[in-house]
């Protein structure tokens, strides 16, 4: 595989289009590097669209003494909210006190630390709740009489990935989906990267952000030395979605007798999201799903707290993601660290670095990316300048942190023909980018084909043209969550439209 005279040489090739890869591409491109991101499927195709949808410190990590990780996460929590107020918003959590699991004084101590070690400024503090009189107690079984209410944030996880990729592209990064890297070789100070069915890519540095496949990618790499032999632990987390179980605006954080926890979270207006599990994953990374045992466990967990009985038959949808955790030798998967570390290997002369990312969580992705780029900058002259990713909002997030309702009102006033629910969803997905749909619209007819459930052709076109969507699945499950509402025939109509549009 030779170097052609006119072939582009990138400064940095990022392999993996999950949250860490997109974050690294964004940071590096904004520092002036010529960046390419290669993802074998769609953006956020794997773990990054299968999270519990939370920007949180990880309250339960305190009892595993991961104070540094919790502090880092809590610091990032309000930072991320500030740069993406359209897809991240505050959420209060009800933690019912369960006698016999953790004493109330220990929970109070944990929540005190949670409130104070991370520089909380805008989110409200913890308070005690009398479940016998508070509305939050109504969905719960009568034996729960006391709870603690604390703050974290909700996030549309897949959109967070897409917005980072968009910002990288706005800084001239080349974002390529459906590009499977089959082999990497370090030769003559460059990385030669083979891509299935396409021309090879040349780069001065590589960021291996392949998530659960980080070791698989290294196994397809030659010309590097990896003596440490560090590994990862693949832990599967599963969730179910059911019809809305409660009308209260809070989510619920519940403790199981086996020491695990689960969340019940208001989801997409009409649903409740329940999860997660922690199970070691040993199967294929291309066939990740919630097992019958995991679904039954989630249902039994919910039944122990809520008046409404939930059975596996009530699950409208289930999903699972594999977390690539640092293998720290923990006995139980739920106790494995959610921290991260890097492995950096360079050529003998200090050139052609490859940095591999092990572990991480969605809340710390920005800081992880910043740290990764700093490590690479010591071996890559094109990475100039200091961290910048907190000074610029993500695409569509250029409005005040509490301004989503005002933005929706302004759009509604300018386009009175739009249903309020549609404007709400658009603002919560696209923020100020919503106006891109409406520049030539003066009525619903100008939005094009109505595919149902508030999805019009003007939105589908935007997602194909600007967000790398190539299928109905990309639109319905990652660019939005409308897949919860579409039936098979409606999804096929959308698929036919997307395929036809891409041909033309």
**How far is 325 from 212, CA to CA, in rounded Å?**
8
- pLDDT tens per residue across span 296-319: 999 999 999 999 999 999 999 999
Same fold, 88-155+232-332 and 404-503: no
Tell me if 172 sits within 8 A of 34, measured CB to CB. Answer: yes
Query: How does strand 232-243 pair with strand 317-326?
Result: antiparallel
* pLDDT at res. 2: 52
Mean pLDDT of 443-468: 97
- pLDDT tens per residue across span 54-70: 999 888 788 767 888 88
* pLDDT at res. 333: 65
Least confident stretch, 200-214, 279-293, 455-469: 279-293
* pLDDT at res. 66: 83
DSSP letter string, 102-118? S-HHHHHHHHHHHHHSS
| Architecture category of domain 88-155+232-332 in CATH | 2-Layer Sandwich (3.30)
* pLDDT at res. 138: 97
Mean pLDDT of 203-217: 96
Query: What's the mean per-residue pLDDT of the chain?
Result: 93
* pLDDT at res. 1: 47
Pick the residue with more confidence: 227 or 380?
Answer: 380
Q: pTM of the entire structure?
A: 0.95
Residue 338 has pLDDT above 50, yes or no: yes
* pLDDT at res. 335: 55
* pLDDT at res. 406: 97
Cα separations in angstroms, 428 against 41, 139, 314, 416 = 25, 27, 27, 18
Percentage above 70 pLDDT, the chain: 95
* Closest to 298 in 3D by CA, of 276, 313, 317, 319: 276
- pLDDT tens per residue across span 246-265: 999 999 999 998 888 999 99
Residue 11 has pLDDT above 50, yes or no: yes
Residue ranges of the domains in the chain? 9-46+159-231+338-377, 88-155+232-332, 404-503
- Read off the pLDDT band of 435 (50, 70, 90): very high
Question: For residue 302, what is the enclosing H or E element?
Answer: helix 292-303
Strands (DSSP E) contained in 16-171 are 35-38, 54-55, 88-96, 127-130, 146-155
- pLDDT tens per residue across span 18-41: 999 999 999 999 999 999 999 999
CATH superfamily of domain region 9-46+159-231+338-377: FAD/NAD(P)-binding domain (3.50.50.60)
CATH for the stretch 404-503: 1.10.8.870
């Amino acid at each position: 595989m030779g170097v052609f005279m006119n072939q582009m040489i990138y400064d940095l090739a990022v392999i993996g289009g999950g949250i860490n890869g997109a974050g690294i591409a964004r940071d590096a491109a904004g520092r002036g590097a010529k960046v390419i991101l290669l993802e074998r499927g769609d953006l956020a195709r794997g773990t990054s669209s299968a999270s519990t949808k939370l920007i949180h410190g990880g309250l339960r990590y305190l009892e595993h003494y991961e104070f540094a990780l919790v502090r880092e996460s809590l610091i990032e929590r309000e930072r991320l909210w500030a740069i993406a107020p359209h897809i991240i918003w505050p959420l209060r959590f009800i933690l019912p006190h369960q006698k016999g699991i953790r004493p109330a004084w220990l929970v109070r101590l944990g929540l005190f630390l949670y409130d104070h070690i991370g520089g909380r400024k805008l989110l409200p503090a913890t308070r005690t709740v009398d479940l016998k009189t508070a509305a939050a107690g109504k969905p719960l079984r009568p034996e729960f009489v006391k709870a603690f209410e604390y703050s974290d944030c909700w996030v549309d996880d897949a959109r967070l990935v897409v917005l980072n990729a968009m910002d990288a592209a706005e800084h001239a990064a080349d974002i390529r989906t459906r590009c499977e890297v089959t082999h990497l070789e370090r030769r003559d100070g460059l990385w030669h990267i083979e891509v299935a069915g396409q021309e090879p890519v040349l780069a001065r540095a590589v960021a291996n952000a392949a998530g659960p496949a980080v070791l698989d990618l290294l196994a397809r790499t030659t010309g590097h030395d990896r003596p440490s032999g560090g590994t990862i632990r693949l832990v599967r987390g599963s969730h179910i979605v059911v019809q809305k179980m409660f009308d209260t605006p809070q989510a619920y954080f519940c403790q199981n007798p086996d020491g695990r926890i689960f969340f019940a979270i208001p989801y997409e207006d009409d649903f409740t999201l329940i999860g997660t599990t922690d199970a070691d994953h040993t199967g294929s990374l291309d066939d990740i799903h919630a097992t019958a045992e995991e679904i039954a466990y989630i249902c039994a967990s919910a039944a122990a707290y809520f008046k409404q009985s939930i059975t596996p038959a009530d699950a409208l949808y289930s999903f699972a993601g594999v977390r690539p955790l640092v293998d720290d030798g923990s006995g139980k998967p739920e106790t494995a660290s959610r921290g991260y570390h890097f492995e950096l290997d360079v050529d003998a002369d200090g050139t052609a670095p490859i940095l591999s990312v092990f572990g991480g969580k969605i809340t710390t992705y920005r800081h992880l990316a910043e740290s990764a780029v700093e490590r690479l900058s010591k071996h890559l002259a094109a990475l100039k300048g200091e961290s910048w990713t907190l000074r610029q909002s993500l695409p569509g997030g250029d409005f005040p942190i509490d301004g989503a309702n005002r933005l929706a009102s302004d759009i509604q006033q300018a386009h009175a023909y739009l249903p309020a629910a549609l404007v709400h969803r658009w603002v919560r997905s696209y923020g100020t980018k919503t106006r891109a749909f409406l520049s030539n619209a003066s009525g619903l007819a100008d939005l094009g084909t109505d595919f149902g459930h508030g999805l019009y052709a003007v939105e589908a076109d935007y997602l194909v043209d600007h967000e790398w969507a190539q299928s109905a699945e990309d639109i319905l499950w990652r660019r939005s969550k409308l897949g919860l509402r579409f039936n098979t025939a409606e999804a096929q109509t959308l698929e036919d439209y997307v395929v036809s549009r891409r041909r033309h």
